[in-house]
Amino acid sequence: MDIWGRPTGALVMHDSCPGTVRMTPGGVGRNIAHNLRLLGLEVAFITAMGDDLIGRALMDACLEQGFRMQHTLVKKDGHSSTYLFVTEAGGDMCAAINDMDICAALTPNFFETLLPKLRDYRAIVLDTNLPTESIAWLCTHSRLPLYADTVSAAKAPRLLPHLKRLQALKTNALEAAALTGEKDAEQAAKKLARLCPGRIFVSLGADGMLAAERDKLVYLPVYETEVVNATGAGDAAAAAIVWAGLHRFDLTASAQLAQLAGSITCRSPYANNPELAALPQLM
């Protein structure tokens, strides 16, 4: 659950600022799933939730979006994942705290019993909020195409031993640096493309996106848009990358879709913008 605080005027640290506080369903994996639903795909959402107030609200919201929720783990007395963030008045994030401990319940044993039930799906999308050993197990045992989002610089290295298994990787400059040791985003993208036979997408935020595939590297500038809330833009880009891959778009077109998806999401006060449903018609 995302809890978003936004000041009406300037954000003054160490003080209580007038503004707005909103609570909406979020999380990288859930946001990607929501965006894939907006893009018209059937989605099974696999996560861990508590049976607490937030967990029940999240379950209702996921069912309302049409997620298939039969494989989600509901943990008795568990505390559902919560993401608390504060932005400036313009929407750029200043600070955040994530409470994701319940994800530790998504063990290899959990996935071992689940994987045979997923054979009819076209792809698996995973993020690095999963435990390291569970990422390793899925990358070793799943035969479905795998798409991955690095989530954060701290968690990105969980994917490093498994890059050869990925159909596509969506990351940003900081996370790419954590994976490769390269501070220059272009060099990091090239190195990742040598390590991963799939596609690499490196978001540069307001500076655009780098996309790489084997020895090909392309740069796409950002689409200008009014930024209401930047949170969720990267998750929309990740969903667009998955959608484009499943529809066999080439590298450049996939990156264009990712950039468009991010710009559309930035126009909304929420992490998922219903206008994203029009994305396929924009290409």
- The pLDDT tens digits for 193-218 are 999 999 999 999 989 999 999 999 99
Among 160, 136, 137, 142, which Cα is nearest to 150's? 160
| 108-123 pLDDT, tens digit each | 999 999 999 999 999 9
- The 3 state secondary structure assigned to 40-71 is CCCCECCCEEECCHHHHHHHHHHHHCCCECCC
pLDDT of 283 strictly over 80: no
CA atoms within 13 A on the CB side of 120: 4
Answer for the pair 134, 121: CB distance below 8 angstroms, yes or no: no
Would you give the end-to-end CA distance of the chain in angstroms?
Answer: 32
SS3 9: coil
Give the tens place of pLDDT for each residue, 52-107.
Answer: 999 999 999 999 999 999 999 999 999 999 989 999 998 788 998 989 899 999 99
Any domain includes 82: no
Query: Residue 230's pLDDT is what?
Result: 80
The number of angstroms, rounded, from the C-alpha of 234 to the middle of its chain's C-alpha atoms is 6
User: Which residue range(s) make up the domain with 218?
Assistant: 28-60+69-77+101-282
How high is the pLDDT of residue 98? Answer: 85
The domain that holds 176 is classified in CATH as 3.40.1190.20
For residue 72, which of 123, 34, 129, 30 has the smallest C-alpha distance?
30
pLDDT value, residue 2: 87
State the total domains in the chain.
1
Of the two residues 138 and 223, the one the predictor is more confident about is 138
Q: What are phi and psi of 102, to 5 degrees?
A: -65, -20
Query: Do the domain assignments include residue 14?
Result: no
Examine residue 113 and state whether it is found in any structural domain, yes or no. yes
Cα distance between residue 162 and residue 244, in whole Å: 22
Domain membership flag for residue 222: yes
How confident is residue 132, by pLDDT bands cut at 50, 70 and 90? very high
Residue 182 CA: distances (Å) to CA of 70, 172, 215, 252, 262: 41, 12, 17, 23, 25
Whether 225 maps to a domain, the answer reads: yes
Reported as a single tens digit per residue, the pLDDT across 221-240 is: 988 888 887 878 999 999 99
Task: Please tell me the predicted confidence (pLDDT) of residue 135.
Answer: 98
pTM, entire model:
0.90
Q: Is residue 90 part of a domain?
A: no
Question: How many CA atoms are closer than 13 Å to the CA of 29, on its beta-carbon side?
Answer: 22
pLDDT given for residue 61 in this prediction: 95
Query: Is 7 inside any structural domain?
Result: no
Q: Is residue 49 part of a domain?
A: yes
Q: What is the pLDDT of residues 254-266, one digit of tens each?
A: 999 999 999 999 9
Task: Compute φ and ψ for 106, nearest 5 degrees.
Answer: -85, 75
Reported as a pLDDT band with limits 50, 70 and 90, residue 39 is: very high
